[in-house]
Amino acid sequence: MKVFQTNEIRNIALIGGAKSGKTTLGEAMLFEGGIISRRGSVEDKNSVSDYRPIELERQNSVVASVLYTLYDNKKINIIDTPGFDDFIGEVVAALKVADTALMVVNSVNGVEVGTEITWRYTNKNQTPVVFVINHLDQEHANFDETIRQLRQQFGNNVTLMQYPVNAGTGFNSIIDLLQKKLYKYPQGGGKPEITDVPDGEKAKVDEMHNALIEELASKDEALMEIFFEKGTLTEAEISKALRTGIVTRSFFPVMCVSAKQNMGVGRLLEFIAASVPSPDVMPGTKTKEGKELKCNPSEPASAFVFKTTIEQHLGEVSFFKVYAGEITEAIDMINPNRNNSKERLSQLFVINGKNREKVEKLVAGDIGATIKLKNTFTNNTLNSPKNADLIIEPIVYPEPKFRAAVKAKNQGDDEKLGSFLSELTKMDPTLVLLYSKELKQVILMGQGELHLNIAKWQLENLEKIGIEFIAPKIPYRETITKPAKSMYRHKKQSGGAGQFGEVHMMIEPFREGMKDQNEFPIRGRDVIDLDWGGKLIMQNCIVGGAIDARFIPAILKGIMEKIEEGPLTGSYARDIVVSIYDGKMHPVDSNEISFKLAGRHAFKDAFKNAGPKILEPIYDIEVIVPEEKMGDVMTDLQGRRAIIMGMDSEGTYQKILAKVPLAELNRYSTALSSLTSGRATYGMKFGEYTQVPSDVQDKLLKAYEEQEKEEE
Residue 1: the pLDDT is 80
CA distance 647 to 631: 12
**Looking at the structure, do residues 118 and 40 belong to the same domain, yes or no?**
yes
pLDDT band at 119 (very low <50, low <70, confident <90, very high): very high
Burial environment of residue 170 by CB neighbours within 10 A (0 to 12, 13 to 18, 19 or more): exposed
Whether residue 497 has pLDDT greater than 80: no
Average of per-residue pLDDT across 307-324: 90
Indicate the number of domains in the chain: 5
CA distance 644 to 5: 53
Listed in sequence order, the residues at least 6 apart from 396 whose beta carbon sits closer than 8 Å to its beta carbon are: 92
Answer yes or no: is 534 within a domain. Answer: yes
Answer yes or no: is 287 within a domain. Answer: no
Tens digit of pLDDT for each residue in 584-626?
999 889 999 999 999 999 999 999 999 999 999 999 999 988 8
Average of per-residue pLDDT across 625-645: 93
**Looking at the structure, do residues 15 and 93 belong to the same domain, yes or no?**
yes
Mean pLDDT lowest for which of 222-231, 289-298, 591-600, 695-704? 222-231
Answer yes or no: is 91 within a domain. Answer: yes
**Looking at the structure, do residues 581 and 649 belong to the same domain, yes or no?**
no
Mean pLDDT over all residues of the chain?
A: 92
In the chain the first and final C-alpha atoms are separated, in Å, by 71
Residue 349 belongs to domain with CATH number = 2.40.30.10
What is residue 56's three-state secondary structure? Answer: helix
Per mean pLDDT, which of 63-67, 213-217, 237-241 is the most reliable?
A: 63-67
CA distance 437 to 355: 43
Residue 626: the pLDDT is 86
**Looking at the structure, do residues 123 and 41 belong to the same domain, yes or no?**
yes
Give the number of other Cβ atoms within 10 Å of residue 419's Cβ.
11
Answer yes or no: is 418 within a domain. Answer: yes
Residue 23: the pLDDT is 96
Burial environment of residue 83 by CB neighbours within 10 A (0 to 12, 13 to 18, 19 or more): buried
Residue 668 belongs to domain with CATH number = 3.30.70.240
Q: Among 595, 611, 627, identify where a domain stops.
A: 611
Q: Among 577, 611, 645, identify where a domain stops.
A: 611
Tens digit of pLDDT for each residue in 523-575?
999 999 999 989 999 999 998 889 999 999 999 999 999 999 999 999 999 99
pLDDT band at 208 (very low <50, low <70, confident <90, very high): very high
Burial environment of residue 412 by CB neighbours within 10 A (0 to 12, 13 to 18, 19 or more): exposed
Answer yes or no: is 397 within a domain. Answer: no
Nearest to 353 by CA among 364, 369, 365: 369
What is residue 570's three-state secondary structure? Answer: coil
Listed in sequence order, the residues at least 6 apart from 423 whose beta carbon sits closer than 8 Å to its beta carbon are: 310
CA distances 551 to 260, 308, 508, 554, Å, are 79, 53, 22, 5
**Looking at the structure, do residues 411 and 541 belong to the same domain, yes or no?**
no
Tens digit of pLDDT for each residue in 693-711?
999 999 999 988 887 777 6
**Looking at the structure, do residues 546 and 632 belong to the same domain, yes or no?**
no
Instruction: Report whether 662 contacts 701 (CB < 8 A).
Output: no
CA distances 626 to 116, 122, 128, 153, 155, Å, are 11, 19, 24, 11, 17
Residue 507 belongs to domain with CATH number = 3.30.230.10
**Looking at the structure, do residues 516 and 596 belong to the same domain, yes or no?**
yes
The three state secondary structure string of 534-564 is CEEEEEECCCCCCCCHHHHHHHHHHHHHHHH
Tens digit of pLDDT for each residue in 140-187?
999 999 999 999 999 999 999 999 999 999 999 999 999 999 999 998
Answer yes or no: is 703 within a domain. Answer: no
Average of per-residue pLDDT across 242-264: 94
**Looking at the structure, do residues 361 and 417 belong to the same domain, yes or no?**
no
Q: What are phi and psi of 559, to 5 degrees?
A: -65, -45
Instruction: Report whether 219 contacts 244 (CB < 8 A).
Output: yes
Instruction: Report whether 542 contacts 550 (CB < 8 A).
Output: no
**Looking at the structure, do residues 607 and 638 belong to the same domain, yes or no?**
no
Listed in sequence order, the residues at least 6 apart from 516 whose beta carbon sits closer than 8 Å to its beta carbon are: 522
Residue 521: the pLDDT is 93
**Looking at the structure, do residues 106 and 137 belong to the same domain, yes or no?**
yes
pLDDT band at 133 (very low <50, low <70, confident <90, very high): very high
Instruction: Report whether 544 contacts 523 (CB < 8 A).
Output: no
CA distances 106 to 49, 133, 181, 679, Å, are 19, 6, 24, 16
**Looking at the structure, do residues 302 and 374 belong to the same domain, yes or no?**
yes
Residue 381: HSE in the Cβ half-sphere, 13 Å Cα cutoff? 25
Domain span at 422: 402-473
Answer yes or no: is 645 within a domain. Answer: yes
Mean pLDDT lowest for which of 111-120, 372-381, 572-581? 111-120
CA distance 611 to 80: 58
**Looking at the structure, do residues 314 and 429 belong to the same domain, yes or no?**
no
Q: Among 387, 412, 446, identify where a domain stops.
A: 387
Residue 313: the pLDDT is 74
Answer yes or no: is 110 within a domain. Answer: yes
Q: What are phi and psi of 544, to 5 degrees?
A: 70, 15
Residue 711: the pLDDT is 67
Residue 58 belongs to domain with CATH number = 3.40.50.300
Tens digit of pLDDT for each residue in 485-496?
999 999 988 767
Whether residue 712 has pLDDT greater than 60: no
Give this prediction's pTM: 0.88
Tens digit of pLDDT for each residue in 376-428?
999 999 999 998 899 999 999 999 989 999 999 998 888 899 889 998 998 99
CA distance 435 to 438: 9
Average of per-residue pLDDT across 335-345: 95
Residue 541: the pLDDT is 95
pLDDT band at 325 (very low <50, low <70, confident <90, very high): very high
Residue 495: the pLDDT is 67
pLDDT band at 36 (very low <50, low <70, confident <90, very high): very high
Residue 410 belongs to domain with CATH number = 3.30.70.870
Give the number of other Cβ atoms within 10 Å of residue 469's Cβ.
16
